[in-house]
Amino acid sequence: MISLDLTGKTAFVSGSTQGIGYAIAKRLAEAGARVAINGRGAEKVESAILALAERGLPSENLFAAPGDVTTDEGLAEALGATGDIDILVNNLGIFGAQPALEIGDAEWQRFWEVNVLSAVRLIRATLPQMMRRGWGRIINIASDSAVVIPAEMVHYGATKSALLAVSRGFAKEAAGTGVTVNSVLAGPTHTEGVEDFVYQLVDTSTPWAEAQREFMQEQRPQSLLHRLIEPEEIANMVIHLASPLASATTGGALRVDGGYVDSILP
């Protein structure tokens, strides 16, 4: 029998008040894990927990862990509410379209801090205890843009490429300990942030269904789905990697990209 039972495990999902992170947190809680909901503001975190509870998830499986994990102070605040973590999902990330030659140093640094260093900080804080206990899962949410660098957001693609290297390197650090470290290459996904991004590239007066089709045809024609991926579809891969079933999968970059990356590997 295939079991995705995570009862007794504690999970932390960075940036989990909306979008992909929210879907991942929901899926982990459905599997029985105790899930820390993270975001910069306590009010937004509590709203996400309420929304999840209204979907029928047990309130005892959800708890607030607010804090800006891009800073040492915010990291300490978030982890202080959590206790020992068995499953870490580094989902926090930012993106946005900007011509490559117009991206200044400050913007490059901001993307690096949020998309790469927040994950590194959380891994450093949680991996040692996982290794001591002999079990753990670290899953970094990367992107197809790590492999197919988009011309309209080079800085985003570069940081997601770095995240693949971070995943592989920490997997080697955890070798032989029972802890796995993987990354998930998420393809173009339907979230509120992506809707805003699409309308940076498509006329804002265009109805959403038509705007999505135009975006996929003109900006992401490599997709074999010909549609945006739903957050729940990303969460399904994450829940597998978080489970005991994925005990032999580590150091990998797993694709949920709708066939966007035109390559056999990764």
Q: Which residues are catalytic?
A: 156
Across the beta sheet with 87-90, the strand order is 62-64, 34-37, 10-13, 87-90, 136-143, 179-186, 253-256
Distance CA 164, CA 179 (A): 17
- Pull the structure tokens for residue 97: 């379209």
- Determine phi and psi for 33, rounding to 5 degrees: -75, 155
Distance CA 266, CA 199 (A): 30
- Determine phi and psi for 181, rounding to 5 degrees: -130, 120
DSSP classification of residue 113: I
- Pull the structure tokens for residue 137: 């899962």
In this structure, the chain runs to a length of: 266
Q: Provide the sign of the torsion angle of the four alpha carbons 17, 20, 24, 27, taken in this order.
A: positive
- Pull the structure tokens for residue 4: 């995705």
SS (H, E, C) 49-73: HHHHHHCCCCHHHEEECCCCCCCHH
Instruction: Tally the C-alpha atoms within 13 A of residue 31's C-alpha that lie toward its C-beta.
Output: 26
Distance CA 89, CA 87 (A): 7
Alpha-carbon distance values, 207 to 219, 226, 231 (Å): 17, 17, 21
